Structure 1
């Protein structure tokens, strides 16, 4: 996830909100349940991001939630990859040297399946592939994990919201058993709104740090506000959680991307509900999460 997508609330507003937060609320943060730990792109500090190996690494660490990114190929297949091009995490430049700028949307699923998505991370992962969304959710399910799914760059892929939900439905991820294990998020408010309209039972999250004044509108169709850790304070988290989300519960805050113990403890004191991290074992130990 990138911080570019949504403007942060002003520091003055956050500072004021922090000062106005009752002391009892601060104490509740300190003694309450620890935040949920979510493995960002799988166990991405320890295995190639957004791959089945990363999912398995998170499972091996005992991490129940994984986060991923979904984009679409030229022939309309959904694949799990963060960037809108293939250069950083595959050997696409070697396999297809004449296909610059190597955008995901310009390659078929079969072509992407040929790429090595692991050697860049380390020789032990040579030959790792970019998974399809179907492959990914099956692995998550097999590992008895939960999924925070980001619809990436929806402006590049018209209709990707409906298509993502169709894949999830085909893989039984929209049945009653799985719905409690799924959250669909995006930086695009329109995408989050669309997902909620198409499948109102699915929990959703809006990435970024929207102004508190805009939260009543977002709360109509989302269950979470998920900001960068560098943009929040106790006051902002408390302000978000004061609103009731789309499913009748307080809006949650899953913050990203926290990779060290000091920052993890700081945002836990803010009262966040979840921490998205490349190093889930480090964060779990820091905040005392199960």
Structure 2
């Protein structure tokens, strides 16, 4: 891959084997006068826009495009009859109605279903009833949504379950005119966690920009070996250090982080010097980059999330909880508000809860006696991830109020 001298977010020149699209300013994320082109981070909508629409559906891709993000990310796998489809999990249970359609196969590999069987599943209702009827998309459906401004990150998901997926995706990108337009416009990138799969894809499609995903950033020697086939590195923002950033840049690779959902986490990641941000909430974080209100009209925020309390995570009158706070100067009825995590686990606020200005409410997962300051969902299993979580607060009528990450 030819080396190119580019400009980093700090404005310093670096030489890196990467296509120019990785460092291009988001065309619709911010107005030119708001941010200098050489300081603009790349914004990617995760699974389309998984925070505001059912992940890996056309509705989510459209939200990603609406945000003006540079790219939206998708996950590709192969059906039992060799059709490339877009789905994240290894099984269909979490995000489809498979238990109704194929009750004996809910925990079967998603790749064991034929394309015709996949099309019988509803992939939207799990998120919200207004998305009833959303289907599992074909790979080419993402190309139909993409534009010259908003391209596509294609993650090859669990390649061991989809033998031959690298060649099939490469062939699709070469034969479909819409994909070819995106390639020519530097609005396409392929990525994955499986290094062997990435190396295979680089061999069959060396013209496509490629990203190596990794839960943590490895040492300089491994990073150097990745430059043989990859243009960039994508990693978990929660474990990223300044030394990691320096190591990636020293190797001549572009650095992206996932899945960065709260505005505060986005700001912290950019302060470390990352080049690209992948988020479930591209619409809201595009506003952040524009310098406009992220949650206009919201008066209630998630002030804290206590994921790992002393003792059991779920216990009577105690245990894990999310803390809501009224930051406005008016009383707000939070009855029916929802707290939703990335896996679509939901906590609710019951009826009759009106928060005065400055008042707080603990929304507990487990059982307990409801009081003015605490509401208990009565669940028997924990919802919040002890290793850190991102949760969103929704008012009735699907109005997003806040996103919090810890």
2:290 & 2:259 partners in 1: Cα distance? 18
The 3-state SS of whatever aligns with 2:271 is: helix
For residues 28 and 289 of structure 1, do their structure 2 counterparts lie closer, same or farther at Cα, with a shift above 3 Å needed? farther
User: Aligned residues, how many?
Assistant: 259
Residue 275 (structure 2) aligns with: 273
Residue 16 (structure 1) aligns with: none
For residues 27 and 177 of structure 1, do their structure 2 counterparts lie closer, same or farther at Cα, with a shift above 3 Å needed? closer
The 3-state SS of whatever aligns with 1:67 is: strand
Shift of 1:140: 2.0
Matches within 5 A, 1:1-290: 33-141=39-147, 144-172=149-177, 175=180, 178-179=183-184, 180-208=186-214, 209-244=217-252, 251-288=253-290
2:10 & 2:87 partners in 1: Cα distance? 40
CA displacement, residues 77-98 of structure 1 (integer Å, 9 cap, x when unaligned): 1110000111111101110012
For residues 117 and 26 of structure 1, do their structure 2 counterparts lie closer, same or farther at Cα, with a shift above 3 Å needed? closer
Larger-gyration structure (1/2) = 2
The 3-state SS of whatever aligns with 2:134 is: coil
Cα contact 1:66–1:146 (8 A) shared by 2: yes
For residues 34 and 104 of structure 1, do their structure 2 counterparts lie closer, same or farther at Cα, with a shift above 3 Å needed? same
1:279 & 1:63 partners in 2: Cα distance? 10
The 3-state SS of whatever aligns with 2:146 is: helix
Cα contact 2:11–2:39 (8 A) shared by 1: no
For residues 55 and 177 of structure 1, do their structure 2 counterparts lie closer, same or farther at Cα, with a shift above 3 Å needed? closer
More helix by share: 1
For residues 71 and 111 of structure 1, do their structure 2 counterparts lie closer, same or farther at Cα, with a shift above 3 Å needed? same
CA displacement, residues 238-269 of structure 1 (integer Å, 9 cap, x when unaligned): 2201223xxxxxx1111000000111001101
2:179 & 2:66 partners in 1: Cα distance? 26
Aligned residues: CA RMSD? 2.3
For residues 177 and 115 of structure 1, do their structure 2 counterparts lie closer, same or farther at Cα, with a shift above 3 Å needed? closer
Cα contact 1:34–1:288 (8 A) shared by 2: no
Structure 1 length-normalised TM: 0.83
1:65 & 1:239 partners in 2: Cα distance? 25
More strand by share: 2
Shift of 1:219: 0.6
Gaps of 5+ in 1: 1-24, 245-250
Cα contact 1:34–1:268 (8 A) shared by 2: no
Shift of 1:135: 1.8
1:160 & 1:114 partners in 2: Cα distance? 23
Shift of 1:276: 0.2
Structure 2 length-normalised TM: 0.60
Shift of 1:197: 1.0
Gaps of 5+ in 2: 1-7, 13-35, 293-406
1:173 & 1:159 partners in 2: Cα distance? 22
* Bigger relative CO (Cα 8 Å, ≥ 6 apart): 1
